[in-house]
């Protein structure tokens, strides 16, 4: 994945919100129009928590889970065994051994840069009539991520962190249409903001600690990681105050794309 992807993933922390993380994945799966699929790649599969759902939707399909994190793949193998073939590979340079009926990617491609080339390349790996299905967080202008960047730009860690900041790794929806439409018979694009009801003292900080905050944390010296996390947490508590019942509402925006590969075009 991108150079800003965390050096080491924490599957346990990531799966703390497993139900909320899998919901967009299932919403994406529900909009895929394929009746049958024989070859499926879950690209950026993480701990494999979507593979079981893919195998139920497409029984008998040969599923490959690809991720660059050994920690995530070990968790996937432990939890889901031989439901899929597990492959450690950099998503940015990955290519399948054969064209796929479906390439499915949940919350992974936003780690990559140069999306025009990425999406065109991935569409090229899909069989005619097959599907490229992608869900990406599109949270980068929201307080959770904007405040994280703001904290990163100030303080003793600024010189280290500024080169790692990415303000808008996900493009405007219309650009994905323009990139994919010449290659596809149809391109379905939509956005959803999930209003997540969360518990605990720092739930938004906990959420981003296993994803968006992780590459910044990994870049810092050990003695700076705690103070940086505390500073981000203070800003997030102000932006996302507890409600009367003690819970926190966290609006999280996602971008979805389901593209059916052209049978003649491309």
Residue 140 lies in a domain: yes
Residue 1 lies in a domain: no
Within 10 angstroms of residue 19's Cβ, the number of other Cβ atoms is 10
| Full residue range of the structural domain in which residue 249 is found | 11-261
* CB-count exposure of residue 96 (10 Å: 0-12, 13-18, 19+): middle
Of 9 and 221, more confident: 221
Tens of pLDDT along 78-122? 999 889 999 999 999 999 999 999 999 999 999 999 999 999 999
How many structural domains compose the chain? 1
pLDDT of residue 18: 58
Let me know how long the chain is: 266
Residue 6 lies in a domain: no
Residue 3 lies in a domain: no
pTM above 0.75, yes or no: yes
Q: Which strands form 85-88's sheet, in the order they lie side by side?
A: 85-88, 62-67, 39-43, 100-106, 126-137, 248-261, 184-198
Of 4 and 261, more confident: 261
> Domain holding 214: CATH number?
3.40.50.150
Residue 4 lies in a domain: no
pLDDT tier at 15 (50, 70, 90 boundaries)?
Answer: very low
Residue 64 lies in a domain: yes
């Amino acid at each position: 994945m991108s150079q800003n992807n965390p050096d080491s993933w924490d599957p346990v922390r990531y799966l703390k919100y497993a139900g909320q993380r899998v919901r967009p994945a299932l919403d994406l799966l529900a909009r895929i129009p394929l009746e049958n699929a024989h070859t499926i790649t879950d690209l950026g599969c993480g701990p494999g928590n979507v593979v079981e759902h893919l195998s139920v939707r497409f029984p008998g399909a040969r599923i490959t889970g690809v991720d660059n994190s050994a920690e995530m793949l070990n968790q996937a193998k432990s939890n889901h065994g031989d439901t899929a073939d597990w492959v450690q590979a950099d998503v940015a340079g990955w290519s399948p051994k054969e064209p796929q009926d479906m390439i499915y990617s949940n919350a992974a491609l936003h780690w990559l840069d140069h999306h025009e080339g990425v999406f065109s390349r991935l569409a090229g790996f899909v069989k005619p009539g097959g599907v490229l299905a992608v869900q990406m967080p599109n949270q980068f202008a929201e307080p959770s991520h904007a405040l994280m960047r703001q904290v990163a730009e100030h303080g003793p860690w600024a010189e280290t962190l500024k080169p790692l900041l990415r303000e808008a790794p996900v493009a405007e929806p219309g650009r994905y249409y323009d990139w994919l439409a010449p290659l596809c018979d149809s391109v379905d694009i939509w956005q959803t903001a999930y209003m997540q009801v969360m518990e605990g003292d720092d739930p938004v900080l906990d959420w981003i600690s296993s994803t968006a905050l992780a590459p910044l944390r990994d870049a810092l010296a050990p003695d700076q990681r705690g103070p940086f996390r505390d500073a981000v947490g203070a800003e997030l508590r102000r932006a996302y105050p507890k409600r009367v019942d003690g819970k926190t509402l966290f609006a999280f925006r996602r971008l979805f794309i389901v593209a059916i590969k052209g049978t003649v075009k491309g």
